Structure 1
């Protein structure tokens, strides 16, 4: 088996969702990148209860790491070796590291990556060293170790660009997007916005030129999603709505209507509509999201969407409808063992009971 095939088989293990908790009362963003099927599937964000504030702080609750910040694996290892050729030690070490990541043993995974790095350096395999740095950067990013991740991403980009990779290459753009998110976590919104707009400009150029590669399209949509969240945190509701709407349209095109990503983006649109005072628009978006959710029995976030809808009904004084929606949110949260949305549902029901008894 070639080194490429062996590492590829290890990367195919990545079927887990990454959950980034950007705030206990704020948005939760998650997406899956699996090199095995070339999907970023599918940057699923979910805003918390819409009557709550969107505070940002570093939280790693629910962290699940998956390999693949970039599609850097492709082309890094040659495929011309015979199947009988001995697999380099660093490939086997990387495979073990990936398996540790799948098991949630992140410290062991990091230690193995350092071993793999020394092995690749001993062989003077420049491409392997670059890829291992990339794995380290993504691991640090998903563990919330942003200073370390920043330094590693910078190193990887410098190595790529020094070898002739252009700044608009998807690998560089994917790392630039993560750098923007790092700056946002660190409170440097100026650098974060510059990073998001840099990525959007180059990705928009690719799309305008007829780029049909799914990785490019999904990265474009994910960039719009993340940028919209920054805008939302700055109370720039109109502009945030614009980018969420674009992301929703891409999700419809790529995923179709009956998909978690599509439902959650409808939730986001409903959330912002509520913030803008458009309660009827919020009800339309959220109702559509809950209808789609009926076709998605494994959607963990569905309970929160029902609670969000219930809160809009409260705002409009439709207490019976609100109670029904929040009860459904409670039932779904309980059945899906989603503790955060269960708390939201209980808060919603408590508020309704107070209003009905007053």
Structure 2
């Protein structure tokens, strides 16, 4: 089950899908959002093509991703199963690993968490069997996904242990002098996901501290004017609102929107909805309506159904709140 976040604040979890990780072997959790463009660069993960079969394999994976983007998870899984068999026949280890990761991400996205758990556990076993060190970034990345899954399943002890393993492992690397982009961003990703888990359990001070650490790492690599930096600021504003500090939350969200407009962030609908929710918390209903309506209009321009749904939900909750005051 999903965490029961407060309806007062819209958390832009959708925005975190694809912004964090530059790693070319494993994709971030929910990193194949519907509607995004599949690029050829995505398939440089496979071993260097040596013949027709490799081309067929690449094409099957492309088709699987495209079917998922169109909303047909069942057809996508069938295509990926065929692709997996082909990769196994070709002994293409990178291809096998990549397809496993895609299948697990699809299982997670369709709320089949047990299936996703099994695939990710198998994936860790495969990586270790191939000689990958247990503290390698690849293993940590999959472990962070598993921790998130355990959080969704409310297996909290496993979730805590998983997140602590990931964060401790990455902090040790940084303490030893690791400063490459991959390591810094993976550390930020682990902190971000752990903060979301903590926020879902209303451990707001801890969540805020972890979001802050994630933000510092992200802005160190990407700078402030970057989508993921803004998403983290958005989430920090959400924590402030949940703690009852609506004035500070409002100011932070205004900063997010100001920067987001400059860089034409794809997450502007979610940012406006969050601002509208904060206004609603303050009983500034006219401002809330304007912000949520702006979110709806932007989401429709982007043809983003998930953001449209969030924005329309915000307006519906606003109407209910206004009726209660009369």
Which blocks of at least 5 consecutive residues in structure 2 are unaligned?
A: 301-307
1:29 maps to 2:13: yes
1:236 maps to 2:203: yes
* In structure 2, C-alpha distance between the alignment counterparts of 1:199 and 1:185, rounded to whole Å: 17
Q: What is the TM-score when the length of structure 1 is the normalising length? A: 0.72
User: Is residue 276–residue 289 contact of structure 2 (8 Å, CA) maintained in 1?
Assistant: yes
1:272 maps to 2:222: no
Q: In the alignment, what sits opposite 1:13?
A: none
Q: In the alignment, what sits opposite 1:344?
A: 314
1:150-165 equivalent positions in 2, closer than 5 A: 150-165=117-132
1:98 maps to 2:62: yes
Distance 1:335 1:121, change over 3 A: closer
* In structure 1, C-alpha distance between the alignment counterparts of 2:36 and 2:149, rounded to whole Å: 16
SS at match of 1:301: helix
1:86 maps to 2:51: yes
Distance 1:291 1:188, change over 3 A: same
Paired residues, what number? 305
Which blocks of at least 5 consecutive residues in structure 1 are unaligned?
A: 1-20, 45-61
SS at match of 2:269: coil
Q: In the alignment, what sits opposite 2:303?
A: none
Distance 1:329 1:271, change over 3 A: same
Between 1:162-171 and 1:206-215, the stretch displaced more is 206-215
* In structure 2, C-alpha distance between the alignment counterparts of 1:33 and 1:289, rounded to whole Å: 16
User: Is residue 19–residue 227 contact of structure 2 (8 Å, CA) maintained in 1?
Assistant: no
Q: In the alignment, what sits opposite 2:177?
A: 210
Cα deviation for residue 111 of structure 1 reads 2.0
Distance 1:90 1:328, change over 3 A: same
Counterpart among 141, 159, 163 of residue 174 in structure 1: 141
Cα deviation for residue 194 of structure 1 reads 0.8
* In structure 2, C-alpha distance between the alignment counterparts of 1:34 and 1:290, rounded to whole Å: 20
Q: In the alignment, what sits opposite 1:306?
A: 275
Of structures 1 and 2, the one scoring higher in RCO (CA 8 A, sep 6+) is: 2
Q: In the alignment, what sits opposite 1:327?
A: 290
* In structure 1, C-alpha distance between the alignment counterparts of 2:104 and 2:91, rounded to whole Å: 20
Between 1:280-289 and 1:126-135, the stretch displaced more is 126-135
1:118 maps to 2:118: no
* In structure 1, C-alpha distance between the alignment counterparts of 2:12 and 2:276, rounded to whole Å: 15
User: Is residue 303–residue 329 contact of structure 1 (8 Å, CA) maintained in 2?
Assistant: yes
Q: In the alignment, what sits opposite 1:288?
A: 255
* In structure 2, C-alpha distance between the alignment counterparts of 1:196 and 1:66, rounded to whole Å: 31
* In structure 1, C-alpha distance between the alignment counterparts of 2:84 and 2:160, rounded to whole Å: 33
Distance 1:133 1:73, change over 3 A: farther
SS at match of 2:132: coil
Cα deviation for residue 201 of structure 1 reads 0.8
User: Is residue 286–residue 308 contact of structure 1 (8 Å, CA) maintained in 2?
Assistant: no
Cα deviation for residue 37 of structure 1 reads 8.7
